[in-house]
Amino acid sequence: MGAYTYVSELWRKKQSDVMRFLQRVRCWEYRQLPSIVRVTRPTRPDRARRLGYKAKQGYVIYRVRVRRGGRKRPVPKGIVYGKPTNQGVTQLKFQRSKRSVAEERAGRKLGGLKVLNSYWLNEVCCLTTMCCSFSCLFIYLMFIMFLYT
């Protein structure tokens, strides 16, 4: 078995003492940093490689933090008009996953990059942390320019 097999086996057993301690320490560290931060290398290299990341120029990794919990309807003073079936304010469920929200936020902030994929990293009572991989569009444009000239 290769090294990535052992690493993925570690991540499969999240309730082990070692992983719980690591997650707790990392979660504290992530909370001290901005919600979108660039990291030098993936936290889970096995997962990143499975999702298309390569350790070469043109691929970058960002860590994104998203708030957990349900979606509250933005109504002034909680007053909703219409039929009783549409009167819910607090118990609404957001239709998109935390993963897609994290990818969208990172993509919006980093306009010149294209989102490749993302994976789950950490979770605490009110925050979820995802790791998003980006591939650089400029590298592809350079390749295309070199191919056609």
Domain containing 100 equals 3-148
Residue-wise pLDDT for 107-118, tens only, equals: 899 888 888 889
**Stretches in the chain below the pLDDT threshold 50:** 137-149
Q: Which helix (H) or strand (E) holds 127?
A: strand 127-136
Give pTM, 2 decimals: 0.82
CATH number for the domain harbouring residue 131 = 3.40.1120.10
Q: How many folded domains does the chain comprise?
A: 1
Cβ-contact 128, 100 below 8 angstroms: no
